[in-house]
Chain A
Amino acid sequence: MAMTVELPALESTDVVAVPAPSKRGRRWMRPALGLLLPVGLALAWEIAVWLGLSNGRLVPPPSKIFATIVELSRSGELARHIIATLSRVAAGFGLGVAAGTLLGAVSGYWNWARRLLDPTVQALRAIPSIAWVPLFILWLGIFETSKIVLIAVGVFFPVYLGVMGAIQSVDRKIVEVGRAFRLSGAAMIRRILLPAVLPAYVLSLRVGLGLGWMFVVAAEFMGASEGLGYLLIDGQQLGKPAQILAAIVIFAILGKTTDWLIEIGTAPLLRWQDGFGRQSGAA
């Protein structure tokens, strides 16, 4: 008897005492763990070049990449390239999202529209988007329009598919609640369908944005005089690997930042979600 009383008492003090400090520690441990590999590799390479184990010409050490970024930004060139690329992505993303949302919503909501539109859209989706480049240049010229349209094409498909799929998979039982409360068509869309598709929509926006960043590089490869893609090509042609890597690093930072902006911008709208992600995030 005495044992059984004592054991739980011991356990409970354990539970209270141990996780409190470790929880605070874990909060910093997780990102730190993720940084370990890239920072470790960068440091190792820096040291290897410093020790003269490699001349670092084709694979410049981090310090040189950083110096290139500082140099580019001092001359104001970097800002010009970033603004050019960002505005292309913004315009293409906006266009692709608008078209994808509209057509996806129409196809998802009306069966006849899906039967009419979807086969064509799916056939177009099967074409690698880069294959459009020559045609876009012929049709729209070599300047901004063809670039923005190419990015928009890349963004369009995931958004279209995401919206259509999300509308189709809205729980019939929830829709029935709306019907039982006699919601009109517009109220049904506003009060049931929109909130129900929001999580999938946000996901498709993030996938679309990722493709937007991918396609801006392709677009800037097809003849641009400014932009981060231009920096890549310029670095290749003039044999400046540090400039190429600098542009890649900036691409990574911009891509991650814009994705993060979508994530935190929509987080308040998705607090209600009850999913695996939330569980593991809370654990």
Chain B
Amino acid sequence: MLALNALGKIYPNGVHALARFSAEIQLGEIVAIIGGSGCGKSTLLRAIAGLDRATSGTVTLDDIAISAPHAKIGIIFQEPRLLPWLSVADNIGFGLSELPATLRREKVAAALARVGLADKAYAWPRELSGGQAQRVAIARALVPQPEVLLLDEPFSALDAFTRRDLQDHLLDLWADTRPTLLLVTHDVDEAVVLADRVLVMRPRPGRLFEEIKINLARPRDRNSLLFDNFKRRVLTALDRSLDRNVPDADPASNAGEAMWW
């Protein structure tokens, strides 16, 4: 279980990015964190990843305190961040350097086939499209089989079709080993299609505002009425988190837009 206990972060320039954020996330759960700009979503994710230290509070994974990057926690960034001097296969095997070469090759080949890029094993990252590069990044993060996978707006730089494609693909990959997924996103559609739970954050300082359980069976139909209802609930919570007045009762309000910034 991933436990966040009263996490707080004040940057050296005095910005209070995160205040007393607590949550418990079970193994295999998919949780989306959503909120307005500057609500501390990325700060939170970086603290969990051990890339930045929280100023107060603790992160524990199975009762082990996390203060630096940990073998059981993987992260995928907004950009693929592939190493340009390594082939696609070597990028995927980047986190497996401690394994014997034959085992590493096997795992990399399996991962390449799993993300549908077996024919790109020896390509350079510059030869990939945005979607393909992000697939490689996902494979790179998943191949060491982390218990928790953190995703920081992983599909926000992609076009709508590729984004949908990769969302489905991510769920597909998740089903293999069922790690915990903690996803930061701007995209209400993405949160509702992927997550078991959506945590809505409120800015200045960033803190938990509302928690919405998405009780929808997978695979989820993006066009169903129920899906729309959940989207509307998340959007309403977002609006309230920013102290906006929402005509709750008005079903014709445009609160169903996919992207929410």
Residues on A facing B (Cβ under 8 Å): 173-174, 176-177, 179-182, 187, 191-192, 195-196, 198, 271-274
- B75 partner residues in chain A, CB cutoff 8 A: 180
- B77 partner residues in chain A, CB cutoff 8 A: 173, 176
Least CB distance, A214 to chain B, in whole angstroms: 32
Residues in B12-63 with C-beta less than 8 Å from chain A = 49, 51
Q: Is the CB of A180 within 8 A of B51?
A: yes
- B49 partner residues in chain A, CB cutoff 8 A: 180
Given the known interface contacts A182-B69, A192-B83, the answer about A176 and B51 at a Cβ–Cβ threshold of 8 Å is: yes
Least CB distance, A91 to chain B, in whole angstroms: 32
Least CB distance, A63 to chain B, in whole angstroms: 49
B81 an interface residue at 8 Å Cβ cutoff? Answer: yes
Most buried by B among A179, A192, A271: A179
Least CB distance, A123 to chain B, in whole angstroms: 32
- A179 partner residues in chain B, CB cutoff 8 A: 51, 69
B216 an interface residue at 8 Å Cβ cutoff? Answer: no
B240 an interface residue at 8 Å Cβ cutoff? Answer: no
- A176 partner residues in chain B, CB cutoff 8 A: 51, 77, 81
Residue tally, chain B, CB below 8 Å to A: 21
- A273 partner residues in chain B, CB cutoff 8 A: 84
Q: Is the CB of B81 within 8 A of A274?
A: no
Most buried by B among A174, A187, A198: A174
Which residue on B lies nearest to A271, using beta carbons?
B124
Q: Give the CA-CA distance A177 to B137 in the complex, in Å.
A: 10
B239 an interface residue at 8 Å Cβ cutoff? Answer: no
B95 an interface residue at 8 Å Cβ cutoff? Answer: yes
> Chain A's interface: helix, strand, loop or mixed, by majority?
helix
A sample of 5 cross-chain residue pairs with beta-carbon separation below 8 angstroms, ordered by A number, consists of: A179-B51, A182-B69, A191-B94, A195-B83, A274-B124
Which residue on A lies nearest to B74, using beta carbons?
A180
Least CB distance, A179 to chain B, in whole angstroms: 6
Least CB distance, B69 to chain A, in whole angstroms: 5
Given the known interface contacts A180-B69, A181-B69, A182-B71, the answer about A272 and B84 at a Cβ–Cβ threshold of 8 Å is: yes
B85 an interface residue at 8 Å Cβ cutoff? Answer: yes
Partner of B81, one of A177, A191, A196: A177
Most buried by A among B49, B75, B85: B85
Ranked 8 nearest A-B pairs via Cβ: A274-B126, A195-B85, A272-B85, A181-B95, A182-B69, A177-B81, A272-B124, A180-B75
B79 an interface residue at 8 Å Cβ cutoff? Answer: yes
- B83 partner residues in chain A, CB cutoff 8 A: 174, 177, 192, 195
- A180 partner residues in chain B, CB cutoff 8 A: 49, 51, 69, 74-75
Q: Give the CA-CA distance A195 to B91 in the complex, in Å.
A: 14
Least CB distance, A166 to chain B, in whole angstroms: 14
Q: Is the CB of B126 within 8 A of A173?
A: no
Q: Give the CA-CA distance A173 to B78 in the complex, in Å.
A: 11
Which residue on A lies nearest to B126, using beta carbons?
A274
Given the known interface contacts A173-B79, A173-B81, A195-B85, the answer about A181 and B124 at a Cβ–Cβ threshold of 8 Å is: no
- B81 partner residues in chain A, CB cutoff 8 A: 173-174, 176-177
Least CB distance, A67 to chain B, in whole angstroms: 50
- B51 partner residues in chain A, CB cutoff 8 A: 176, 179-180
Name 9 extra pairs, CB < 8 A, besides A174-B83, A179-B51, A271-B124.
A177-B83, A177-B94, A179-B69, A181-B69, A181-B95, A192-B83, A195-B83, A274-B124, A274-B126
Q: Give the CA-CA distance A218 to B182 in the complex, in Å.
A: 65
- A182 partner residues in chain B, CB cutoff 8 A: 68-71
- A192 partner residues in chain B, CB cutoff 8 A: 83
- A195 partner residues in chain B, CB cutoff 8 A: 83, 85
Least CB distance, A175 to chain B, in whole angstroms: 10
Most buried by B among A177, A192, A272: A177
Which residue on A lies nearest to B124, using beta carbons?
A272
Q: Give the CA-CA distance A259 to B5 in the complex, in Å.
A: 60
Which residue on B lies nearest to A273, using beta carbons?
B84
Q: Give the CA-CA distance A107 to B82 in the complex, in Å.
A: 27
- A272 partner residues in chain B, CB cutoff 8 A: 84-86, 124-126
- A187 partner residues in chain B, CB cutoff 8 A: 97
Q: Is the CB of B84 within 8 A of A274?
A: yes
Least CB distance, B156 to chain A, in whole angstroms: 15
Q: Give the CA-CA distance A130 to B71 in the complex, in Å.
A: 55
Which residue on B lies nearest to A278, using beta carbons?
B126
Q: Is the CB of A181 within 8 A of B84?
A: no
